[in-house]
Amino acid sequence: MTYMTINTSPTPPEAAVDLIIDQAGKTFPTPRGPVVALAPISLKVTRGSFVALIGPSGCGKSTLLRMVAGLEQPDDGAILIRSKHPEQFRKEGELGIAFQDPALLPWRNVFANVAFPLQILGRPIKPNNEKIRALIDLVGLKGYEDALPSQLSGGMRQRVAIARSLVSDPSVLLLDEPFGALDQILRRQMNLELQRIWAARQTTTLLVTHGIDEAVFLADEVVVMHAKPGRIAEIIKVPFARPRTPDLFSSPEFHALCDTLTAALHGPGAAA
Amino acid sequence: MSGATRENARIVFGVLVVLAIWEFLGSQTSWGVAMFPAPSRILAQAFADRELYWLHGLATVRTATIGFVFGCAAAMLAALLFCLSPSLELAFRGVNIALFAMPAIVVGPLLVLFFNGDWPQTILAALMVYFPAMSATLLGLRQVDPRLADLVAAYGGGETKLMLHVRFRGALPSLFAGFRVAAPLAVLGAVLGEFGSGTRWGFGAFLLSALPQGNPARLWGIGLAASLIALAGYALFLLPARRLAASTSAVTLSAVSPAAIAVSSGGRLRRIAFALVALALPFLLWWLMVTLTKVSPIIAPGPVQTILFLFEGRQASAARHALGLALGQTLPVAALGLLAGLAFAFVLAALSLLAPALARALMPVAMVAQNMPLVAVVPIVTLVFGRGVTASVFMAVLVVFFPAYVLLQQGFTTVPRAASDLVATYGGGRLKNLVFVAVPYSIGHLFAAARLVAPQALLGVMVAEWLLTGTGLGNLLNVSRGGLDYDMIWAGALISILISVAAYEAVGLIERKVVRR
Ligand SMILES: Nc1ncnc2c1ncn2[C@@H]1O[C@H](COP(=O)(O)OP(=O)(O)O)[C@@H](O)[C@H]1O
Ligand SMILES: [Mg+2]
């Protein structure tokens, strides 16, 4: 893992860049006047790296992720994933996404919900039966394949959404606070699983999170954002070797980095 | 015993008490015998008439069912097209509102000119079904959870995939709720069509032949049987609609409110253009209908000819005079019935806030009664109010009251809990709560109710005039139908539809003014 962390510094030529955000900003018109969700920001993410976005609520993290997925158009600037426009890229089924809210189809059971992206992409389900079951197993929902979303707890629904985000074998994965509804123990467990999945597939991953420890544990670099207007305050590299084990959570270096991050979050310029 | 069982036992007990009182008054008092024949007599008469019920009932049920199927098919197709193209919906606004507001009784005699056999009443049933089924389906198709729309878009799916996987399934509960409301209307449409078509079989024909016979038990039997058929249609869709609603509602609340449909977008010019198209389209369809079917223009004049009938030639002033006279009799009664029905519903809904037990008792009755076909109350109205103008007023009040009450009661229950609590915190009682919170909150529902029932009031009065009083617009149409005065049938139908649409639009206009405040 040599070139995991590239952003404003010049990119070494041998590391392919998966995501380029170039001076993209977003202002929403509202009845009470325009709201600047995101001032023009720039970010580069190399292939196979894991980037965590962290910042106070309302600083535009979700907006940034939605722009990368092509669900919002930046007012100015440009976004390219693997040199393609988001609308074009997502059609190829290379994009996986889990929103802040599970957004499950209420009338479909767990299995059919996980299979849903394949249907949208026009891929067959039958040959993928085994894979879908394995994903449901992976998120700890074995035996719940036939349950409807209304029969699951909030955390279980969120895990269905995580399994769903992986079903299309994406090369770029966007996760918006996917573990927000999980308890601390399950959250640790899912962190380890996510690291395993990411390491196995070398999926370029963008993770929005509220958990500082989660960001440090998982990411190659942490993008710290400030609000009003939403902007990138600092980008902090995480030097720990991989694979990372749960011991890391109790190491002094880990805590030192978490403290650095906390300081950056509340640093100069952070909205009161 | 659980609470639900006890509640049910109480309802059964209440019904038995009412039946016992009815049985006593209907057999022991002279006015009871004449107006409220005892249930045992009604049943005995129905048993004696069983062959007639079978033949008439079968005809009406068949007509209503076929009309329901055609009407719903058309409604679903239209809703799909309107969902795909909001411009198309704007263009068809005039047609849709005309179909909603038209007093169905004037359309029956027109359909007879184009179709024969059972088709006129079947088509009338379909026309009555169309609007509620279409608007419910369209609402269901449009109400897509924005989070699911995002999900589909994130995997590169377009409108087709969204329609296929999300909209269709998501619209099912609305669709069935629409079916539920439409089923009793199919029965009403069938019966109203039978009045005008001169058919031998069907509850419409049965009622027409029974009205002059002076047999109260038979009249009550016909009214109750027609209601039963309509309510059976309602009940048929009750359970599936509930099931579907439970399995479709999102498990978490949507964080984002659904995007408002951009119908009002576009410039002023565009809006005016669409309004003109919407206005012209019903007339264009009318013209196409009479031209393409090649029915003689004497029997089926086009829009231009009908308007000329009222303004040119020797007969014009006589025709205008006859129509004016009829309108002078009909409109005040309809307006009176509308206002009285609305006021009565508002007062009763408000009172039920002061006495919640009253609301609990009244609501199921009102829910059932609003789905009774209004022709079913004709027998009761005749027996109680005779054939004078009070019968017309009462008919209008009846058709206005029940739907208005249900809507207003729902309005009163949407008052936010916090607002009522605030009044209570400052020591305000139920009355203060009513005056300062509940009434202002439910003004919007009052307007919605008025818009919904204004056309019904006119229909109620015209049905009473046609069948009972022999005055006004309803009678003019019936007489013209008998006298083969086709120009007058068309002119009368046109005028009454225009008045209905105008009433509907006027309420909407006042509503927008008041609600914008
Ligand atoms: N569709 C929208 N319309 C108007 N304002 C929006 C919309 N989406 C987001 N915003 C505003 O943009 C800002 C950033 O929102 P968001 O990206 O959801 O923040 P975060 O995910 O970091 O909490 C907030 O102030 C929010 O109110
Ligand atoms: Mg967010």
B271-288 pLDDT tens trace:
888 889 989 999 999 999
At B338-348, the pLDDT tens digits run 999 999 888 88
Question: What's the N-to-C CA distance of chain A in angstroms?
Answer: 38
Contacts of B479 (CB under 8 A, 6+ apart): B485
Best residue among A54, A63, A176 to mutate for probing ligand 1, ranked by most atoms within 8 Å of CB: A63
- pLDDT for B516: 59
Mean pLDDT of the B409-426 span: 72
Question: Are the C-beta atoms of residues B216 and B386 closer than 8 Å to each other?
Answer: no
User: Residue A67 has what pLDDT?
Assistant: 94
ipTM computed for the complex: 0.85
Higher pLDDT, A272 or B67: B67
Q: Kindly give the distance from the C-alpha atom of residue A117 to the centroid of ligand 1, in angstroms, as a whole number.
A: 26
Q: What pLDDT score does B108 carry?
A: 87
Torsion A106-B139-B62-B188 (CA) sign? positive
CA B188, CA A178: separation in Å to the nearest integer? 54
Q: What are phi and psi of A225, to 5 degrees?
A: -115, 150
pLDDT band at B2 (very low <50, low <70, confident <90, very high): low
Beta strands across the sheet bearing A172-176: A95-98, A172-176, A204-208, A50-54, A221-226, A231-237
Answer whether residue B255 shows pLDDT above 80: no
Least confident span in A140-149, B97-106, B378-387, B420-429:
B420-429
Q: Residue A188 is inside which H or E element, if any?
A: helix A184-201
Nearest CA among A53, A72, A60, A70 for reference residue A35 = A60
H-run or E-run covering A207: strand A204-208
Average pLDDT over residues A175-194: 87
A140: left (phi over 0), alpha (psi -120 to 50) or beta: left
Q: Among residues of chain A, what percentage have pLDDT more than 90?
A: 64
Between these two residues, A231 and B15, which has the higher pLDDT value?
A: A231
Mutate to test the pocket of ligand 1, among A32, A35, A208 (most ligand atoms within 8 A of CB): A35
Environment class of B336 (CB within 10 Å of its CB; exposed 0-12, middle 13-18, buried 19+): middle
Of B26, B20, B7, B134, whose CA–CA distance to B80 is shortest? B134
Q: How far apart are CA B457 and CA B169, in angstroms?
A: 36
What's the pLDDT at B260? 34
In whole angstroms, give the CA distance from residue B305 to residue B491. Answer: 10
d(CA B408, CA B445): 6
Closest C-alpha to B75, from B171, B155, B175: B175
Cα separation, A118 vs A96, whole angstroms: 11
Q: Smallest Cα–Cα separation from B301: which of B110, B477, B96? A: B110
pLDDT at B416: 67
**Chain B residues near residue A148 by CB distance under 8 angstroms:** 247
Instruction: Output the pLDDT for position B251.
Output: 54
B35-516 folds as: MetI-like fold (1.10.3720)
Q: Which of A101, A109, A191 is nearest to A144 (CA)?
A: A109
What would the pLDDT profile of B288-338 be if each residue is shown by its tens digit? 988 888 888 888 898 988 888 888 888 888 889 999 999 999 999 999 999
Closest CA–CA distance from residue B152 to any residue of chain A (Å): 7
> Is A178 touching B (CB cutoff 8 A)?
no
Identify which has the larger pLDDT, B447 or B79.
B79
Residue A102 pLDDT > 80, yes or no? Answer: yes
The per-residue b/e assignment along B91-100, b for 16 or more CB within 10 angstroms, e otherwise, is bbbbbbbbbb
- Is A103 in contact with B251 (Cβ distance < 8 A)? no
Ligand 1 lining (C-beta closer than 6 Å): A 28, 30, 35, 37, 57-63, 230
Q: Mind listing the pLDDT tens digit for each residue in A120-138?
A: 999 999 999 999 999 999 8
Q: Provide CB contacts within 8 A for B416, sequence distance 6+.
A: B441
Residue matched to tokens 């047999």: B215
pLDDT of residue B137: 92
The helix (run of H) or strand (run of E) holding residue B16 is: helix B3-28
Tell me the per-residue pLDDT of A47-101, one tens digit each, with 9 for 90 and over. 999 999 999 988 999 999 999 999 999 998 999 999 899 999 988 888 999 988 8
pLDDT, tens digit (0-9, with 9 covering 90-100), for A24-60? 999 999 888 899 999 999 999 999 999 999 999 889 9
Please indicate, yes or no, whether the overall pTM of this predicted structure exceeds 0.80.
yes
**What's the whole-number mean pLDDT along residues B60-81?**
96
Residue B99 has pLDDT above 60, yes or no: yes
Of A87, A104, A106, Cβ closest to residue B248: A106
Residues 6 or more apart whose CB falls under 8 angstroms from that of A88 comprise: none
Contact with chain A for residue B262, Cβ under 8 A: no
pLDDT of residue B261: 37
Question: Which among A93, A89, A92 has a CA at the least distance from the CA of A67?
Answer: A89
Contact between residue A204 and residue A16 where contact means Cβ atoms under 8 Å apart: no
Which residues lie below 8 Å from residue A84, measured CB to CB, with a gap of 6+?
A: none
Weakest-pLDDT range from B63-67, B323-327, B512-516: B512-516
Residue A3 pLDDT: 39
- The secondary element (H helix, E strand) that includes residue A184 is helix A184-201
Most confident of A14-18, B90-94, B256-260: B90-94
The CA distance from B87 to B89, in Å, is: 5
Give B480-508 pLDDT, tens digit per residue: 888 888 889 899 999 999 998 998 888 88
Q: Whose CA is nearest to atom 25 of ligand 1?
A: A58
- Residue B253's pLDDT is 47
- Per-residue pLDDT, B356: 74
Task: Please state the rounded mean pLDDT for residues B118-132.
Answer: 93
Inter-chain residue contact A99 with B151, CB threshold 8 Å: yes
Concatenated DSSP letters of B88-122: HHHHTHHHHHHHHHS-HHHHHHHHHHH--TTHHHH
Q: How far apart are CA B70 and CA B190, in angstroms?
A: 13
Domain chopping of chain B, boundaries: 35-516
Confidence at B198, pLDDT banded by 50, 70, 90 = confident
- Name every chain A residue with its beta carbon within 8 A of the beta carbon of B150: 66, 71, 99, 103
Q: How confident is the model at residue A14 (pLDDT cuts 50, 70, 90)?
A: low
Q: How far is the CA of A169 from the centre of ligand 2 (A)?
A: 24
Which neighbouring-strand residues pair with A97? Answer: A174
| B62, B72, B228, B237, B370 from B123: Cα distances, Å | 12, 12, 22, 22, 23
Asked if pLDDT for residue B370 goes beyond 70, the answer is yes
Alpha helices in B29-85 (DSSP H): 30-35, 39-48, 50-84
A98, containing H or E segment: strand A95-98
CA of A102 from ligand 2 middle (Å) equals: 13
Closest by alpha carbon to A80, among A16, A1, A36, A4? A16
pLDDT (0 to 100) of residue B243: 79
Q: What is the pLDDT of residue B259?
A: 34
Q: Integer distance in angstroms from the first to the last C-alpha of chain B?
A: 51
CA B119 from chain centre, in angstroms, equals 21
User: Residue B379 is encoded by which pair of tokens?
Assistant: 């027998």
The confidence score (pLDDT) of residue B262 equals 40
| Distance from C-alpha of A135 to C-alpha of A118, rounded to nearest angstrom | 14
In whole angstroms, give the CA distance from residue B52 to residue B472. 32
Which tokens belong to A125? 């389900």
Above 70 in pLDDT, residue A272? Answer: no
Q: How many CB atoms sit inside 10 A of residue A56's CB?
A: 16
Ligand 2 mean position, distance from CA B10 (Å): 52
CA distance B399 to B460: 6
**Model confidence band, residue B367 (pLDDT cutoffs 50, 70, 90):** confident
Tell me the CA distances in angstroms from B513 to A21, B100, B415, B447, B507, one per residue in order.
Answer: 48, 23, 22, 11, 10
Question: Any idea which of B159-173, B254-268, B300-314 has the lowest mean pLDDT?
Answer: B254-268
Question: Which residue, among A89, A94, A105, A172, would best test binding to B if mutated, counting the most B CBs under 10 Å from its CB?
Answer: A105
Return the C-alpha torsion angle B153, B157, B161, B167, nearest 10: 0
pLDDT of residue A1: 37
Residue B118 CB neighbours (<10 A) = 21
Residue A271 above 70 pLDDT? no
pLDDT in tens, A131-179: 999 999 988 899 999 999 999 988 899 899 999 999 999 999 999 998 8
